[in-house]
Structure 1
Amino acid sequence: MPSSGNGSGRNSGRGNHRGAGGGNPRPKSGGGRDDKQKRAGKPRPEERRYDVGPGASKDGPKSGRGASARGGAKGAPKKGEQRTGGRRTAPSTSREYETRAEERNRERYAGKKEVKPPKTFPGAEQEGERLQKVLARAGYGSRRACEELIEQARVEVNGEIVLEQGLRVDPEKDEIKVDGLTVATQAYQFFALNKPAGVVSTMEDPEGRQCLGDYVTNRETRLFHVGRLDTETEGVILLTNHGELANRLTHPKYGVKKTYLAHIVGPIPRDLGKQLKDGIQLEDGYARADHFRVVQQTGKNYLVEVTLHEGRKHIVRRMLAEAGFPVDKLVRVSFGPITLGDQKSGWLRRLSNTEVGMLMREVDL
C-alpha cells in the first residue's frame, strides 16, 4: 500500500542515517517526553525566580542570592541594603517600627522603680577628696609621702588623728592639720619679701616710685601686703592672697609680735629698756615695747633690738626719738614666726607649709 511504503521508507531512512553516523542512538521520543515531565517541577535557570520575602515564588531559594541574581552582578546590594563608600550598610529599619518598639518599651517599664547601677569602685558614693590628695596639692610631697604622714599619725582632721588611708575630706569645711599646724588647702599663696630702703609699701604708686607690686608683677593671682613698713625701713614684709589671715595678722586683738633692729647713737642709759616697756607717751597715746635688748655696741654706736605687737605708723622710730635717741637705720627682722634670716635685700621667697601653719596658729586659724 502506498501509505505503508511511505512510512517504511521514512523509518528506513532514519535508521540508515543513524547507522552512518556511527554514534549512539538517540533515546526514543517517548523517553524524552518522560524526562520533560520529571523536570516539570524544576524550572530551567532562565525561568527561575530568585525573589525572597513577600511575593517570592515557592520554587525560589530562601537565601539572599535572589537579589544578586536579579541585580545582574555578583555582590549587588541585598533588598533593604544600601552601599556607602563601597561598603554595605545594615538594612534600614522603618521609623514607624522603631516608634512602635519604643512605645512598647515605655509601657513595659512604666511605673517601675529606677534601678541604679552599683558603683565601680569602693567609696565612690562618698563625697569629697582623699586626704592624701589634698595634702599633696598643698605641697606636702607626693601622694605616697602624704600616705606615710598618715601612717605616722601626724595628720588630724577636725581634731582627730587619722590612721586610715583614703579618708575623704572637704577642704572647704574640714580643718586639716599636719604636726599640729593648719594646712592651707586652697590655692593660697604666701611670700616673704626683704624690702629694700626706698621702696614704698603699696602695691601701686601713682607717683611712679618703686613699690611692692614691682616684685610680684608676674603672679597669676592678685597679692596684697600684710601691714606696712616705712619707705626708709628695710626688712621682712608678707605678701599673700589670703584675706582672713592678713586681717588677723594686723589686728591688735591677736597681738602678733614684730621684731626690729635699730641703729642709734649713745651713750644710752641702763633703764632705756624699762622706759620702753613701761610705755612712751606719744601724740596718739602710749606705746609700749614687749622686749628690748642691746645687740651690739661699737663706741657710741648701738644696735638695739625692739619687739612690740603694735602696728602704728612709724611706731619704733617715734618711741626711740621720744626717748632721746633718733634712729639712723631700721630693719624689721621678723614678723611673728617668719624671720628674715639670710634672705638678701630685694629677694622674694615662698613660705614653706610649716611657716604658713605657724602663721595660722598665731591667729587661731
Structure 2
Amino acid sequence: MRLNKYIAQAGIASRRKADELIQNGNVKINRMTVKEMGTEVQEGDVVEVNGREIEAVAKKPVYIMLNKPLGYITSVSDEKGRPTVLDLVADVDARLFPIGRLDYNTSGLLLLTNDGDMAYRLTHPKHQIYKTYRARVSGVLSRERINRLQNGVDIGGFVTSKAKVKVIKQGERSAIVELQITEGKNRQVRKMFAAVGNKVQELERTAVGELYLGRLMVGHYRKLTPKEIEYLKDC
C-alpha cells in the first residue's frame, strides 16, 4: 500500500496532507525518515508520523456536509487555539478531515470525510468540479469587471481559470454576486474580486458541484445521501 494512502487510512490526514507530511520529513518507516513520494508500505513495516506509531485500519467511510459558520478554522487542529470545524462534528464516531477549505471569515458548505481516496480525488487539480459562492462586494460590478472575472484574473503570480459570474442584485454601494470556480487557491474568491476593484464584505459557499447547502442551518451538519456519495465518486 502506498505510504500516503496508509496514513490516510490511519485517520491522520487526507492523502494530499499525507504527501506534505512525507515531504516535510515527518514520517518514518522502520525508524528511517522517508521523503520519497510513492513509497510502498510492506507487511510488518512500522510507520510513524510525528513520532507516533500508526496503523491503517479498515473503517466504514463517512461523508458529511457541514454549514460552516464564520470564525472556525478548516483544519484538524490550530496552534492558536481557535475553534476548528471538527469541533462541530465531534459527536461523529469517525476521524474526519475536511475536503478542501474555507477561510476563517467565510461560511457555507464544507465536506468532511474519513475517506482519504475520495478527498484526494476531489482536491486534485485535474477534477474540474465547480464550487459556487455567493458574495456581497463593495461598489459597482461593471460589465468590464465581470468580463475580467469570467476570463481569468491575476491574483498574485497565478492567473485564474474562466469563471461563471452572475450579478444577483446591484445596489448603489454594493452588489450581491454568484461566482462559480473550479480552483481552490487560498482566499481565491476574495483575491479575484480585489483584483478587479471590489472588496468582499461577506462570502458564503453554497454548492460543491451538484451538492447544495439548501436549508442546512449554520453550524449544523448532515450525512450525505447514497445518491450524493455516488455523484462525488463519479466526479
Please tell me the TM-score bracket, short chain as reference.
0.7 to 0.9
Match of 1:348 in 2: 221
Structure 2 CA distance, aligned partners of 1:219 and 1:346? 14
Structure 1 CA distance, aligned partners of 2:163 and 2:192? 13
Match of 1:223 in 2: 96
Question: 1:164-201: per-residue Cα shift (whole Å, max 9, x none)?
Answer: xxxxxxxxxxxxxxxxxxxxxx7211000000001011
Structure 2 CA distance, aligned partners of 1:197 and 1:220? 24
Question: 1:240-287: per-residue Cα shift (whole Å, max 9, x none)?
Answer: 011111111111101111010110122221122211121111222201
Q: What SS class does the counterpart of residue 316 from structure 1 fall into?
A: helix
Q: Shift of residue 207 of structure 1?
A: 2.1
Match of 1:335 in 2: 208
Counterpart selection for 2:180 from 286, 294, 307: 307
Match of 2:115 in 1: 242
Normalised by the size of structure 2, how large is the TM-score?
Answer: 0.72
* Letter aligned with residue 235 of structure 1: G
Counterpart selection for 2:198 from 305, 325, 348: 325
Normalised by the size of structure 1, how large is the TM-score?
Answer: 0.47
Q: How does 1:203-214 map to 2 (within 5 A)?
A: 203-214=76-87
Q: Shift of residue 208 of structure 1?
A: 1.8
Q: What SS class does the counterpart of residue 197 from structure 2 fall into?
A: coil
Structure 2 CA distance, aligned partners of 1:219 and 1:269? 45
In terms of Rg, which structure is larger? Answer: 1
* Letter aligned with residue 262 of structure 1: A
* Letter aligned with residue 229 of structure 1: L
Match of 1:270 in 2: 143
* Letter aligned with residue 346 of structure 1: G
Q: How does 1:282-293 map to 2 (within 5 A)?
A: 282-293=155-166
Q: CA RMSD in A?
A: 1.3
Q: Shift of residue 219 of structure 1?
A: 2.5
Name stretches of at least 5 consecutive residues in structure 2 with no aligned partner: 1-58
Aligned-residue identity in percent: 34
**How many residues of Structure 1 are paired with residues of Structure 2 in the alignment?**
177
Structure whose residues are more often helix by fraction: 1
CA contact (8 A) 1:289 1:306 kept: no
Structure 2 CA distance, aligned partners of 1:305 and 1:276? 12
Structure 2 CA distance, aligned partners of 1:359 and 1:337? 9
Q: Shift of residue 204 of structure 1?
A: 1.6
Structure 2 CA distance, aligned partners of 1:288 and 1:272? 15
Q: Which has the higher contact order (CA 8 A, sep 6+)?
A: 2
Q: Shift of residue 299 of structure 1?
A: 3.2
